[in-house]
Structure 1
């Protein structure tokens, strides 16, 4: 499946006041970053990054999880949420929802940072 270039351009334009939106194609979709922080996946629609902390907000808005079928036929989900409909034509909505996704991306990146070994001298 190919990603929607026009949707990427809209996203980039709408989020320009917040930072630089870049894209990395990956397995038929494109991963979006805001100033280096992952915040969305784009196909023919936008899927914002979520996490345990933001799950209740996405659930309250009715934003389903991103799902795909793997090689074995098993349906898997990822912690990305279908973007609310208003992000496609409302800059403020795009900025609000993308901001929530960027926060999840920052929390995820912080969890992945390697820990210093015990007894290591301070940097």
Structure 2
């Protein structure tokens, strides 16, 4: 499955307040960058995720109802990735989504 042009346009519009916003297609999805720093991804199924390594911002994403991205290894064990789903309430509000993305970027620097 691959992202549609409409899905990609939605993510770009949602994070339109992020300075130096760029995107790059990857693995059927898309990376979201600010000034060359990846702060999020949009998976091939359209889900938007923000990068949050272990710590206060990851805890905040969990508290907001975000779910950590997990994949299955070849041996069947789960592997957690440092990305959390953008909570549904933020999908309808570019201002709030961008504010949360700014928090993600601050935690990455």
- Alpha-carbon distance change, 4 to 100 in structure 1, aligned in 2, over 3 angstroms: farther
Bigger CA drift: 86-95 or 60-69? 86-95
Q: TM-score, normalised by structure 2?
A: 0.81
Deviation, 1:84, is: 0.9
Deviation, 1:81, is: 0.6
Instruction: Work out the CA distance in 1 between the residues paired with 2:85 and 2:17.
Output: 23
CA contact (8 A) 1:49 1:79 kept: yes
Cα-Cα RMSD: 1.9
Deviation, 1:83, is: 0.3
Give secondary structure in 2 for the equivalent of 1:54. Answer: helix
Deviation, 1:39, is: 0.5
Unpaired segments ≥5 residues, structure 1: 108-123
Kindly indicate whether residue 47 of structure 2 is the aligned counterpart of residue 40 of structure 1.
Answer: no
Deviation, 1:62, is: 1.8
Instruction: Work out the CA distance in 1 between the residues paired with 2:4 and 2:13.
Output: 14
Unpaired segments ≥5 residues, structure 2: none
Aligned residue pairs, count: 106
Q: How does 1:1-123 map to 2 (within 5 A)?
A: 1-43=1-43, 44-51=46-53, 52-105=55-108, 107=109
Give secondary structure in 1 for the equivalent of 2:103. Answer: helix
Give secondary structure in 1 for the equivalent of 2:75. Answer: coil
Q: TM-score, normalised by structure 1?
A: 0.73
Work out which of the two has the higher radius of gyration on C-alpha atoms and give 1 or 2.
Answer: 1
